[in-house]
Amino acid sequence: MAKSLEALVGESSYALVLGVGGGGDVVGTLPTSRYLRWLGMRTLIGGLTWERYVNDPEPGPRKMEEIIEIKRLSATVGLANAQTRTTKGIRFTESVVAEVLGEETVLVDLNSGVQGVIEGLNEAMEQLGIDLFVGIDVGGDVLASGSEEGLHSMLADSMVLAAMVNLKVPAVLGVLGCCTDGELSFEQFNQQLARIAGYGGFLGASGLTPEDLGVLDGVIPKTKTESSALAVKAARGLRGEIEIRGGYRKVLLTPMSAMTFYFDPRVIFDRISKVAKELVPTRSLDEAQAVLERAGVPSELTFERNYVWKRYAGKDRLYGAEG
């Protein structure tokens, strides 16, 4: 039987809480980090070197070699601070969070495939004395099989999921703000939640507290995250259909959107994901991308390579001058 997050906390002392989807997912780690600290643990939060195109118009995650002001812990993992940025001067959301909180954050590079993530995280966590890994996805597409209508960005989530179950420390998967990224519908999310629970993979949930909202209010306005901001709005009573991404997608906001659900990642890996097992041996981003392409699973890298940096970036007010 899978252990609850509380049970794992009783056996651990220091947790890495990592946003698994890139972009603003690091913001979604804050409530879980605060919860773990309330339970008596030390925590370190972070995310991926993959910003959404509204921050970084270049496709894909940045390699460690493209990042300055970072403290390297391994080939694919480093500690970021308020000054951490790309060689082109773009700050990561993790840098903003580090500045607001006054503490270092973690950045993980996916460019060496899932094997690079596994090796890099294991080495970094051993150096730091971390004995629990908690991955946080904002929105919940990490729970998808990969064939659901409406999916857009399964690569980063699936790669980190594949790595999580192969780490040397116990791992828990959390989802904050169900459906707030406009990928899984509310009905699809509930179907997946029920499936996972049926396999014994549902480990519990926690809601946003007033203290969480206070911390998030200090971080969100300084970032470009939409999904975590919607979770905050849900906690304050907003409900109904909401447009995101400039009207490109619509999401159904409910009180469930203000909760973080916790799961056994092994169940999603073994029973749900179409691609996670095949991703494990990959040693490059392109190799991982090819796995999704063969399985017909949507990848955010496809979108970025084929559209964003060629057309979107040239018109965007933030990057048009450089385009």
**Span 219-245, pLDDT tens digits:** 999 999 989 999 999 999 999 998 876
Average of per-residue pLDDT values in the chain:
93
Greatest pairwise CA separation for the chain in angstroms = 56
Domain boundaries, the chain: 5-315
pLDDT band at 4 (very low <50, low <70, confident <90, very high): confident
pLDDT above 70 for 315? no
Rounded to an integer, the average pLDDT of 204-215 is 97
Comparing CA positions, the residue from 1, 2, 294 lying closest to residue 172 is: 2
Q: Are 135 and 121 in contact (CB under 8 A)?
A: no
- DSSP 8-state code for residue 91: B
CA angle 298, 189, 169 (to 5 degrees): 80
Q: Would you say residue 319 has pLDDT above 90? A: no
- For residue 126, count other CB atoms closer than 10 A to its CB: 14
Q: Enter the pTM of the model.
A: 0.94
pLDDT band at 37 (very low <50, low <70, confident <90, very high): very high
